[in-house]
Amino acid sequence: MNLIIVESPTKARTLSRFLDKDYSVEATMGHIKDLPKSKLGVDIEKDFEPDYLLIEKRKKEIQKIKSASKKANLIFLASDPDREGEAIAAHVKEEIGNGKTRRIVFHEISKEAVFEAIKNPRDINSDLVNAQIARRVLDRLVGYKLSPLLWKKVRRGLSAGRVQSVAVRLIVEREREIENFTPEEYWEIAAELAKSGDKKTFIASLTKIKDKKAEVKNKNEADDIVKDLSGADYKVEDVSTREIRNNPYPPFTTSTMTQSASRLFGWSSKKTMSVAQKLYEEGLITYHRTDSTNLSRSAVQKARSLIQKEFGAKYLPQKERVYKTKSKSAQEAHEAIRVVDPFLKEPETKGRFANDSLKLYKLIWKRFLACQMSEALYDRKTIIVSAFSKYTLKASGQTMKFDGWTTLYASIKDSSESVIYLPEVKKGEILDFIKIHKEQRFTQPPPRFNEASLIKTLEQLGIGRPSTYAPTISTILFRNYVEKDEGKFVPTAIGTAVNDFLVKNFPEVFDYGFTAEMEENLDKIAEGNSQWKITIKKFWDPFANKLEVIEQKAERVKIETEKLGKKCPECKTGELVIRTGRFGKFISCSRFPDCKYTEKYEQKLKMKCPECKKGEVVIKKTKKGRKFFGCSRYPDCTWASWTDPRKK
């Protein structure tokens, strides 16, 4: 009997479907060892030696595994194919104390992949384990040493994290950009024209005035131009048509999958990763924590076979499409996220998240198939029109010649440019003038981050890795450093205060470039090109010195509060203000701690309750922190909804 050890019961059940009686499978239920919660757990004096302890609630699983291992001929450690999985395998081997253990790795839970892995076992990769230890030790040092400082200088109960604090910094700095933004007026002017004798019209936008870019900054300028153009003759100066080739998107990585699910389904990164985890453990998709766009040869061949069968030869390019990963840190041994069996269009999904599992599966299926299909072809037509030899106007549009990969991905792909009607005209032809369109506009501030754009920015900056995006976002929301307003991140007063304190006093540690460089250093450890203890020491020595200085010299931070313009009903002297605590926002007296009056805070949406028409819609939270909408007149009105009524 051979024993295979994985992390989750679902993964174990999936393996058991195709393993014969010569194999048994046990699950660790995740990590079995971790640093202690009650203390630092890192011996700085002994070269940063971590004090890993067996997790109390995993002892039952370990006893079961130990018992099964005694009866096994061979023990295969089959935890996930990343640093965390390698660390789990190493810890299991330590606990078993058995020379019969071998490490196996597969990126999809299929019979073919698993038995191929069993044929090619290896030893534990100590470099990957060391990289995981380095990240854990580094994050523990930052968190456990900075948090007490925040308690003294900002407020009790706060905590800091190496990557999460940088994410908060991005959100705070974007909010300040928005607050400091000064809108600038500009006008868009276009002529509605028609080919002589044609009932159909088209729009040509003003692009140049006297061969210079048209910049119309106020109404007076706009009125003068409109006056000119209203009495002008419009002559075709040039007509050009060129073919546009639109290549398909590459297959999903963790980042692009979470971004697409956020944009298309409105899902949080945490939800996307939870659903993907289920699909992976059910053997339906490949490993979902990856920054590689690499695809296995056999998977591509299956996809090409299906494309040929379902769509025909013209949708199949002559050569396989190969995608190069842009990320410098991506591990090409990993694969992109794809379905295991392209011929399975709609698997039977069970359980609480069955519908969500099917939605994400179909999205991954379409993305994978589309990435191997022929490009879409368009004819892009441009008409250049002159008026008074002073004004230049341009009309552009495109018509599809061949839909290619968009025949599969059309309903969910980004719209690059809508198809616009343009007449058949010749150079020198005079066009009929219909009317002028003018519109006042103002420049817009940069948008607030949503989950998709924040993950994209973190990835572009080289901060974080596939396994850290969702936990980072969940943490900054849980700690009330940021909150969501219609899906966009807004920093709270406490988040802004913590950010300003950290950036002012530890500018190097929370610098974007430094954080990205540290990620690269962790990658070097994983590749065997650097020693983890040396990397940690280079960080720790200046950081520890800075901690001492800041603790002595830094002033206590005052957290800004939002005033409600009402007197405290208890002391009659202080004003009611909105504060942020461990469990979110609440209302208290500005004279705290002299006056300890508090009341519940409910955010109102400036719309009447759809049921009673008297109360206002307010945002509430369940005990577990899930947001829902209710009536301010509760319990007199019991209307409640999980869905935002503003979106109906």
Active site residues: 287
Sign, CA dihedral 501-507-509-514, equals: positive
**Strand ranges inside 443-555, DSSP E:** 482-485, 488-491
CA distances from 574 to 566, 586, 603 (A): 9, 16, 22
Query: Which pair of structure tokens corresponds to residue 417?
Result: 């440019």
E strands, 162-310, in order: 185-194, 202-209, 212-213, 234-246
Tokens standing for residue 350: 């069970």
Helix (H) or strand (E) holding 138: helix 126-153
Q: Which amino acid is at 218?
A: N
Choose among 191, 195, 185: nearest CA to 228. Answer: 191
Please identify which residue in the block is written with the tokens 């369940």: 622
Q: Which residues have CB under 8 Å from 435's CB, separation 6+?
A: 191, 192
577-to-123, 155, 563, 572, 616 alpha-carbon distances in Å: 60, 17, 4, 14, 21
Burial of residue 394 (number of CB atoms within 10 Å: 0-12, 13-18, 19+): middle
d(CA 459, CA 201) in angstroms, rounded, equals: 45
Residue 185 parent element (H or E): strand 185-194
Query: Rounded to whole angstroms, what are the CA distances from 87 to 72, 155, 238?
Result: 22, 35, 65
Question: Which phi and psi (to 5°) does residue 102 adopt?
Answer: -135, 145
Quickly tell me which residue has 């990126």 as its tokens. 107
Which residues, in sequence order, are bridge partners of residue 194? Answer: 432
Please state the φ and ψ torsions of residue 482, each to the nearest 5 degrees: -140, 160
From the number of C-beta atoms within 10 Å of its C-beta (0-12, 13-18, 19+), residue 571 rates as middle
C-alpha 343/C-alpha 336 separation (Å) is 18
